[in-house]
């Protein structure tokens, strides 16, 4: 793997570190590398959770590499699997991703964090979207942020470049934890281990079902569940783990998940 994208495995946990000084901006080549990494994470049954973070302490990511763009790199080329940064359009990823945001998450860097399932941020982290000031659509944020924030706040971030610090982001529910810089990765790993302890098929079913039903009224959500429209839920329902969980509870022991 390129030095721009460093990976480290620790049992069921995959840690992905974006390392492109000075601002961890993402050019097309880096985007394709990240896409390859996230696809390998998706397809490896031994991996359960990914933590995405970045080198340094000032920038999580400045997003799309505008310097590369100014030198002729097109913004509408193939970013690789998963779309920009490998995650923004990886819609079939049913494993959780934790963004450990170590500084400013700007533009596409903020969008990348929004595409994770959890965000742990340092106290000095900051989130903002400058795309409209360089005549770019912040697509992932345009689609996601109005679903995650009150619309006036989302629109101010999208269209007026409003900055949001980590504490405010936590108050709005965008961020799960705000911690000191030296506690960032330990806190993200602690969250990851809580997920690893859960049944893998149940975690996958939760993520897929939440995605499939995000825009549906509750009655239709139950139809999706009962009509077999969620493959991950159907796999869970028919699995040995669905029997192992209640059995382990009754026997007062830790469950032994097989993932099947």
C-alpha distance from residue 36 to each of 7, 30, 68, 77, 119 (Å): 12, 10, 21, 16, 22
User: Among 15, 131, 187, 208, which one carries the catalytic annotation?
Assistant: 131
Backbone angles phi, psi at 13, to 5 degrees: -105, 130
Helices (H), 63-120: 66-70, 108-114
d(CA 96, CA 18) in angstroms, rounded, equals: 18
For the stretch 171-182, what's the b/e string if a residue is b when 16 or more beta carbons lie within 10 angstroms of its beta carbon?
eeebbbbbbeee
Torsion of Cα atoms, 28 then 129 then 22 then 26, to 10°: -10
Backbone angles phi, psi at 198, to 5 degrees: -80, 165
User: Among 15, 111, 187, 208, which one carries the catalytic annotation?
Assistant: 111
C-alpha distance from residue 71 to each of 61, 65, 66, 68, 142 (Å): 20, 10, 9, 5, 26
Does the active-site annotation cover 219?
A: no
**Catalytic positions, written as ranges:** 111, 131
């Amino acid at each position: 793997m390129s030095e721009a994208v460093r990976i480290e495995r620790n049992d069921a946990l995959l840690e992905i570190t974006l390392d492109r000084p000075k601002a961890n901006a993402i050019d097309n080549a880096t985007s394709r590398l990240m896409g390859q990494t996230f696809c390998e994470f998706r397809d490896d049954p031994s991996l359960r959770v990914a933590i995405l973070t970045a080198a340094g302490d000032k920038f999580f990511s400045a997003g799309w590499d505008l310097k590369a763009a100014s030198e002729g790199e097109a913004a509408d080329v193939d970013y690789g699997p998963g779309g920009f940064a490998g995650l923004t359009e990886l819609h079939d990823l049913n494993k959780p991703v934790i963004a450990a945001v170590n500084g400013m998450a700007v533009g596409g860097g903020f969008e990348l964090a929004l595409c994770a399932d959890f965000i742990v941020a340092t106290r000095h982290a900051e989130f903002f979207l400058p795309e409209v000031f360089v005549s770019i659509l912040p697509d992932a944020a345009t689609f996601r942020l109005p679903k995650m924030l009150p619309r006036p706040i989302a629109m101010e971030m999208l269209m007026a470049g409003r900055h949001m610090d980590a504490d405010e982001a936590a108050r709005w529910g965008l961020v799960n934890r705000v911690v000191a810089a030296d506690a960032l990765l330990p806190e993200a790993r602690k969250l990851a281990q809580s997920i690893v302890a859960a049944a893998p098929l149940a975690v996958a079913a939760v993520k897929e079902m939440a995605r499939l039903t995000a825009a549906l009224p509750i009655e239709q959500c139950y139809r999706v569940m009962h009509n077999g429209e969620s493959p991950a839920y159907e796999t869970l329902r028919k699995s040995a783990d669905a029997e192992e969980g209640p059995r382990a509870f009754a026997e007062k022991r830790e469950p032994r998940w097989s993932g099947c």
